[in-house]
Amino acid sequence: MPSGTSKKDYLASLKSIETENKIDRVFYRKVGYKIAVALVPTGVSPNTVTIISILIGVLCGPMIYFSSENYIWGLFGIAFLVIANILDCVDGQLSRLTGKKSNIGRILDGIAGDLWFFSIYVGISMRLVAEHNTSIFYIFAALSLVSHLSQAALTDYYKTLHLLFISPEKGAEFDDIESINKKYNDMEPGLNKLFFWFYKYYTTAQMAATPKLQKMVETVRRKFKGFRLPEEESLRFRKGSMIVMKLIDLLTFNGRSIVLFIAILLQQLWIYLAYEIVVLNIVLFTSRLQHETLCEFYTEYIENKYKNERD
């Protein structure tokens, strides 16, 4: 831990230890925390850190493209992506340490990784098209991008729901469409409202993909005011959710970046596209099925046990 800080301070900078995977806990979050602590007295905002992470992360794509001529560019690409992800940890930890939070910051943080990987898919497709003299790799890259966005959306949604079951405060970012529409309608025209429109569409897509989850959340909100469940009921859901968390770790940055780095080092970039389109979509389908089943069982359990409460 950085000088003058404690393990308790470090844990307070995380959303929850339950939703952090091992690589994040032992590397990215720890390094990010040290940087965040150093930035607290400087006045640097979390949004500034996010923008820097985006600018660094999108450099990975061009590095991948040029690595066909010089192997060192691929190493630079890996380094840029690692640095970008560290900074992506810093912005959230800095936000929690300083209390500086905003809707625009949350949205920027959400799209940062998508922008990095958009650049990466462009770099990979251009490189493979040049090497194999066929434009089919543009199609594979587009499929990878669409797959990536779908996987990231559900992963984020499941993790945020898990936080909501820990406490309403930790899960404050789990918005329903009514509150999102109200915030959107109350906003003045401008860049913030444009970004929030994308967030509104993003959340609508998440909700459409999870019908049993929506029914479960509605049931819990109806039975327990303010989503404040008895601890035993919170733990019951989180125990099942943690099983899904282990599976969707493959859909997080670490789950895909390790394979990407191997593909770059082997100079076999098609491996990453195949992994994204085939393997990770199987993981997505399986984890969604498991989570929807969990939500269905939990809804029935709550309805039966608390049938006479708040109806």
Q: What are the tens digits of pLDDT across the range 64-92?
A: 999 988 889 999 999 999 999 999 999 98
Q: Give domain status of residue 2, yes or no.
A: no
The dihedral formed by the CA atoms of 174, 177, 182 and 186, expressed in degrees to the nearest 10:
80
Q: Give domain status of residue 72, yes or no.
A: yes
CATH number, domain with residue 225: 1.20.120.1760
- How far, in Å, are 41, 219, 236, 307 from residue 304 at the CA level? 52, 11, 15, 5
Q: Give domain status of residue 246, yes or no.
A: yes
Closest CA to 275 of 261, 287, 288: 261
* Neighbour tally for 239: CB within 10 Å: 10
Q: What pLDDT does residue 241 have?
A: 96
Q: What pLDDT does residue 5 have?
A: 59
- Report the mean per-residue pLDDT for the chain: 91
Q: At what angle do helices 191-208 and 136-166 cross, to 10 degrees?
A: 90
Find all residues with CB under 8 Å of 298, minimum gap 6, and list them.
216, 236, 237, 240
Residue written as tokens 């949350």? 106
Closest CA to 209 of 106, 287, 108, 301: 287
Q: What is the reported pTM?
A: 0.89
Task: Please tell me what DSSP assigns to residue 303.
Answer: H
Residue written as tokens 């493209």? 65
Sign of the CA dihedral running 115, 255, 97, 107: positive
Confidence of residue 115 (pLDDT cuts 50, 70, 90): very high
Structurally, how many domains does the chain consist of? 1
How far is the C-alpha of 181 from the C-alpha of 152, rounded, in Å? 23
The dihedral formed by the CA atoms of 227, 20, 183 and 228, expressed in degrees to the nearest 10:
10
Q: What pLDDT does residue 114 have?
A: 93
270-275 mean pLDDT: 98
Closest CA to 237 of 135, 127, 124, 158: 158
Q: Where are the beta strands (DSSP E) in 208-295?
A: none
Taking only the tens place, the pLDDT of each residue in 205-231 is 999 999 999 999 999 999 998 899 999
Question: pLDDT over 90 for what percent of the chain?
Answer: 69
160-179 mean pLDDT: 88
Q: Give domain status of residue 1, yes or no.
A: no
Residue written as tokens 């994204």? 276
Closest CA to 267 of 44, 56, 68, 109: 68
Q: What pLDDT does residue 275 have?
A: 98
Instruction: Give the DSSP H/E element, type plus range, for residue 311.
Output: none
88-116 mean pLDDT: 85
Closest CA to 293 of 303, 285, 304: 285
Confidence of residue 183 (pLDDT cuts 50, 70, 90): confident
Taking only the tens place, the pLDDT of each residue in 117-162 is 999 999 999 999 999 999 999 999 999 999 999 999 999 999 999 9
Q: What pLDDT does residue 198 have?
A: 83
| Boundaries of domain holding 207 | 7-305
Task: Please tell me what DSSP assigns to residue 58.
Answer: T
Q: What pLDDT does residue 200 have?
A: 87
| Geometric angle at alpha carbon 297, from 249 and 181, rounded to 5° | 70
Q: What pLDDT does residue 110 have?
A: 81
pLDDT above 70: residue 4? no
How far is the C-alpha of 229 from the C-alpha of 168, rounded, in Å? 10
Q: Give domain status of residue 311, yes or no.
A: no
Q: Give domain status of residue 163, yes or no.
A: yes
Taking only the tens place, the pLDDT of each residue in 276-310 is 999 999 999 999 999 999 999 999 999 999 887 65
Confidence of residue 171 (pLDDT cuts 50, 70, 90): confident
